[in-house]
Amino acid sequence: MNCPNCAAPLKPYQSRCDYCGSYYIDATVFDLDNHTPTYMKMKYQGKIITLRVFHLNPVIEFSSEYTDITDRYGNVVKSIKNRDQIHLNFEADCDEMRIEQGEER
């Protein structure tokens, strides 16, 4: 496996690239068809948060940005695609949450 950002090699279960610092999260570990609880642990604002999630629903939205080329009368002559965007959000139902002080790195 290689880093999607800089193509440097990633070790199995590595979550951050040693070269560019990008985070890599392999979300295939979440079996969204299996309705057993999932435990997620993350760092947020200096605290370690552990969640027990019993329903996880990914919401994926695709969008594109365009720039219009107009003639001197304001008529659109051509639209040029600037970039595509993917927005990924997770809607989660949690029935348990634990917050601890984060550890210094």
Q: What is the pLDDT along the chain (105 residues), one digit of tens a residue?
A: 888 889 999 887 788 899 999 988 777 766 667 767 778 888 888 888 888 877 777 778 888 888 898 988 999 998 888 888 877 777 777 777 788 876 644
Q: Around Cβ 56, how many Cβ atoms within 10 Å? A: 19
Is there a contact between 33 and 57 (Cβ–Cβ < 8 Å)?
no
Q: Identify the DSSP state of 23.
A: B
Q: How far apart are CA 50 and CA 32, in angstroms?
A: 19
Q: pLDDT tens, 30-43?
A: 666 776 777 888 88
49 exposure class (CB count in 10 Å sphere: 0-12, 13-18, 19+): middle
Using DSSP bridges, classify how beta strands 47-70 and 38-44 pair: parallel, antiparallel or unpaired.
antiparallel
